[in-house]
Amino acid sequence: MKIENKVLACVDQSPFADHVGDYAAWAAVRMDAPLELLHVIERHPEIGDTRDHSGALTPNAQEHLLSELSEQDEMYTRRSREQGRVFLNRLRERALAAGVASVDMRQRHGHLDETLRDWEPGVRLFVLGRHGQSGAAGGQDMGSNVERVVRMLQRPVLTVTEGFKPPQRVLIAFDGSALTRRGVQMVADSPLLRGLPITLQMAGKLRQDGPREISWAAETLTAAGFDVRQSIRDGEAEKVILETIAAEDVDLLVMGAYSHARWRSLLFGSRTDTLLRAVRIPALLLR
């Protein structure tokens, strides 16, 4: 696959799709990258919707059933294809209006994970909604797909919630780990956040080399032209971060995501999850 370095916005037909599209457009404009809107049509073969309980095996029952089921699938696919096209087209107009130079749109069959895995090589930034169609009612629920998808991908993922506001102030949750150090480097090198004031927040149980790490990060960012404020605070990391977000009116959170094995987060819960549930601003997750 050719390297296109595009921003890929994964949208489903939920109210959040507009905001996913808006943030993706914002990122595409800032990075001067092409934008692609992706809508995955998932079919659900694991759900049976034939309800013929007659239990009778008529002659050629198998052939009849096969043609009946494939007709159903065909109709479903056609309907969702057309719906999706109209919906994507609207998002495309919106992104063009927001000033993105090149907007592509595409619908694919299959599951979201597989599709994103196939698509990853040409993507610079993924944008997806933290509340998917399924989680729309739940408010605090994460879209069911987010953790699975983020764990699978290597590129940064911008997860957004309801509402769009061009980010003005950024908070980088920094813990001195290799992952967040790489993240700082990435932010420094990328045009995405250029010009935005950044708060470097280090919190939780303090590591001995914490101060050294954070000043390295601050220097790196300052050298790249960022206006940086650093803060080291004791206390529970999630709480500290939430407080800073509220106090400084931060509207974009940058953090490393799911650095622990899946079994660990199943047992002890994942900090990424806790934070993502608690904050209502978009989060740029670095892998």
Partner 1 sequence: MKSLHGEWFSNVRNDLLAGMVVALALIPEAIAFSIIAGVDPKVGLYASFSIAVVIAFVGGRPGMISAATGAMALVMVTLVKEHGLQYLLAATVLTGIFQIIAGWVRLGVLMRFVSRSVVTGFVNALAILIFLAQMPELIGVSWHVYAMTAAGLGIIYLFPYLTRAVPSPLVTIVVLTVVALLLKLDIRTVGDMGALPDSLPVFLIPDIPLNVETLKIILPYSLTLMVVGLLESLMTATIVDDLTDTRSDKNRECVGQGVANIATGFIGGMAGCAMIGQSVINVKSGGRGRLSTLAAGLFLLILVVFLGDWVRQIPMAALVAVMIMVSIGTFNWASFRNLRDHPPSSSVVMVATVVVTVATHDLAKGVLTGVLLSGFFFAHKVGQILRVGSLAEDEGRQRTYRVTGQVFFATADRFVNAFDFKEVIERVRIDVSRAHFWDITAVSALDKVVLKFRREGCEVEIIGLNEASATMVDKFGVHDKDGAGDLLLDH
Choosing from 1, 2, 3, 48, the residue that interacts with partner 1 (CB under 8 A) is 48
35 neighbors 25 (Cβ within 8 angstroms):
yes
Residues 16-45 touching partner 1, rule: CB under 8 A, are 43-45
Binding mask 152-191 for partner 1 (x = CB under 8 A): ----------------------------------------
Min. distance of Cβ 12 from partner 1 in angstroms?
Answer: 18
Span from 31-39, 47-55, 205-213, 260-268 in contact with partner 1 (CB under 8 A): 47-55
Angle (deg, nearest 10), helices 61-97 and 17-31:
50
Listed residue (248, 260, 154) closest to 201, CA to CA: 248
| Between 45 and 139, CB nearer to partner 1 | 45
What are the structure tokens assigned to 186, written together?
A: 């990435």
| Between 68 and 189, CB nearer to partner 1 | 68
How many whole angstroms separate alpha carbon 177 and alpha carbon 155?
Answer: 18
Residue 281 identity (one-letter amino acid): I
4 neighbors 34 (Cβ within 8 angstroms):
yes
Choosing from 61, 75, 101, 267, the residue that interacts with partner 1 (CB under 8 A) is 61
Min. distance of Cβ 144 from partner 1 in angstroms?
Answer: 11
Residues 100-129 touching partner 1, rule: CB under 8 A, are 111
Span from 32-40, 56-64, 139-147, 162-170 in contact with partner 1 (CB under 8 A): 56-64
String of DSSP letters for 110-146: S-HHHHHHHHGGGEEEEEEESS-TTTGGGSSPPPTTH
Q: Is 266 in the site for partner 1 (CB under 8 A)?
A: no
59 contact partners, CB below 8 Å, separation of at least 6: none
Residues 69-98 touching partner 1, rule: CB under 8 A, are 69-70, 73
Angle (deg, nearest 10), helices 210-223 and 178-189:
10
Residues that bind partner 1 (CB under 8 A): 43-63, 65-66, 69-70, 73, 111
